[in-house]
A and B are shown apart, each in its own frame.
Chain A
Amino acid sequence: MIKNFFRGSFAHLTLIIVCVLSLLPFLWLFSTALKGAGENIFQYPPQLLPSDPTLSNFKEVLRLVPIIGYVINSFIVAAFTVVLNLLFSAMAAYPLARMEFFGKKTVFFAVLSTIMVPFQAIMLPIYIITLKLNLIDSAGLVQGYLGLILPFAVNAFGIFLLRQAFLAIPKELEESAVIDGCNSWQIFTKILLPMIKPSLAVLAIFTFIGSWGEFLWPSIVLTNEKLFTLPVGINNLQGAFSANYRLIAAGSIISIVPIVVFFLSLQKYFISGQNEGAVKG
């Protein structure tokens, strides 16, 4: 009994410390954002609780920087990236799971090979091609968005995740649909897709998180501030307010609100643990 108590409190103590450490950088940022101009943010010893908390930094940064615009851009890019990924990955996964055709092995290994090559190694030609296709923000809003979305519109991890899901569906279902006169497209949309909803949800959520946090590619292609996504815009705060960490902190805190809300409302998908590691770029 006593031994169990100590074992239990050791676990709780450890986990509480880890949780505090996980939150500390954000809390410190939040505290800094709440400190007004009258309070020295380099005060010694540091004050975690602001003596006179104020929202003025938040108002100021929202006035000076189009953060809401960044949020909308990030949302547009992430939403379309998710939709295209679900559609294209599911379409590609279907024949790979349930059909026999000439060249299947080649297709399979072609998809697999894309997993082995890091984006960072081929980003230069991707950039050249994107320029040649004129998918850049200087050509217009739509082209700008397309340039952010299309290079990530298919992900081999997604194809394999959905292929596994299709493989788990019993063949008889499809056979009875064929007897009922369904064609392949109808079988795909009416019978198979609804059955892999859980996997589609997992793919959607992790693609969204990935797209939302993506920094390298948008920072390479974007030139027009109107199209800045959140990570690019927030990184830019550093240059804009180098002397004012309160505003950088306030902007950073605002930027994490949407994704934290998204995370907490869909928490069961993140912590069920069953599909972890399924999708990572």
Chain B
Amino acid sequence: MSFLLKLTPYFFLIPAFVILGIFFFVPFFQTIYLSFFDYSKDIYNPQFAAWANYVYLLKNPLFIKTILNTFYFLVLCVPFLVIFPLFLAILLNTKIRFKTFYKLIIYLPVVVSIVVVAIAFKWLYAPEGLLNYFLELIHFHPIGWLSDPRFAMFSVALVTIFKGVGYYMMIYLAALMSVPKDLYEAAEIDGTDSWAKHINVTLPHIMPTLALVTTISSISALKVFVEIYVMTHGGPLDSTKTIVYYIYERAFENLDLGIASAAAVVLLLVVMIFSMVNIFVFERKKYGL
């Protein structure tokens, strides 16, 4: 009996670990394993390639470009996603009227599928679409939002921003609720005016959350895919080809499993660095570390 009792915890863990084993741990090690094989000549008869796939990637201008594109995309959306939702949260963390209504509307794009959001933006970005009309209203020339390599990545980032603002705003709102109210009162007695108050009182309290939003929005930026798949397919001229798109193309279109896996390992390493900072520095409490 006591032997069986000792097994109880493992019994509870079995279902989760069967799933994680099949769909996480095995694929994880298989990704690393595959990255050392050459599938390009014969997909049914892969050859051990040692580091050749990695060497190929480092010398491949397209892969280097996708890495740079990915970081360009990150730089386009992360700063905005860190600052603007905080600004909205500060506005909403007061006794303002229609608060719930505002929150609901701003959060709405978060729950709508990214595919629909991307289709809606594609329509706004059309050459004779609404956005070019607005540009003309303020006496600018219409631009090729998705067809001009200079603007395409910016246009994609705008979609990601649109979809993300509400999500990060809610994270900030939760954090703002925990800022002690008496700190504000003290600031008010000192005669600090309202935005100065936020810089002096709110910001130090919100710093950990700000850092958290920076890492999680960076991680999702590194993984961007659907917006690009729906709107540009990586084009024009590879200007919106990001690392996940490259992996997708190599794996499922070219069936070049070795190269795709090596690129996946690169993605893995980059994302893991951000995740580790996140887990071991900003979210220790959540994970009970």
Contacts and interface: CB of A to CB of B under 8 A. Distances in A.
Contacts of A25: 117, 120-121, 123-124, 162
A18 B19 CA distance: 42
B268 A107 contact: no
A91 B94 CA distance: 40
Interface in B254-270: 257, 260-261, 264-265, 267-268
B181 interface: no
Contacts of A12: 96-98
Interface residues of B, number: 95
A262 to B, nearest CB: 8
A56 to B, nearest CB: 19
Contacts of A160: 286-288
Nearest to B28: A122
A126 B27 contact: yes
If over half of B's interface residues share one DSSP class (helix, strand or loop), that class is named, otherwise mixed; here it is helix
Contact of A88 (B15, B194, B265): B15
A187 to B, nearest CB: 10
Contacts, number: 278
Contact of A276 (B109, B174, B219, B264): B174
Contacts of A101: 6, 9-10
Contacts of B23: 126, 129, 150-151, 153
A120 B133 contact: no
Given A22-B166, A125-B27, A163-B288, A120 B247 contact: yes
B113 A234 contact: yes
A231 B116 CA distance: 7
A164 B194 contact: no
Contacts of B119: 29, 234-235, 237-238, 248, 252
Given A111-B20, A274-B174, A277-B174, A259 B13 contact: no
B12 A91 contact: yes
A131 B9 CA distance: 32
A202 B166 CA distance: 17
Contact of B106 (A8, A18, A88): A18
What secondary structure prevails in chain A residues at the interface with B? helix
Interface stretch (B47-55, B144-152, B184-192, B271-279): B271-279
30 contacts: A12-B96, A12-B98, A14-B88, A15-B96, A19-B102, A21-B162, A23-B105, A23-B108, A25-B121, A26-B120, A42-B126, A42-B128, A45-B133, A87-B15, A91-B15, A91-B16, A101-B10, A114-B20, A122-B264, A124-B257, A125-B27, A150-B19, A150-B23, A154-B16, A213-B112, A231-B114, A231-B116, A235-B119, A276-B171, A277-B167
Interface of B: 5-6, 8-10, 12-13, 15-17, 19-20, 22-28, 30-31, 34, 88, 91-92, 94, 96-98, 100, 102-109, 111-117, 119-121, 123-124, 126, 128-130, 133, 162, 165-167, 170-171, 173-174, 177, 194, 212, 216, 219-220, 222-223, 225-226, 229-230, 244, 247-248, 251-252, 257, 260-261, 264-265, 267-268, 271-272, 275-276, 279, 286-288
Interface of A: 7-8, 11-12, 14-15, 18-19, 21-26, 28-29, 32, 42, 44-46, 87-89, 91-92, 94-95, 99, 101, 104, 107, 110-112, 114-118, 120-129, 133, 150-151, 153-154, 156, 159-160, 163-164, 167, 184, 188, 209, 212-213, 215-216, 219-220, 230-231, 234-235, 237-238, 245, 248-249, 252, 255-256, 259-260, 262-264, 267, 270-271, 273-278, 280
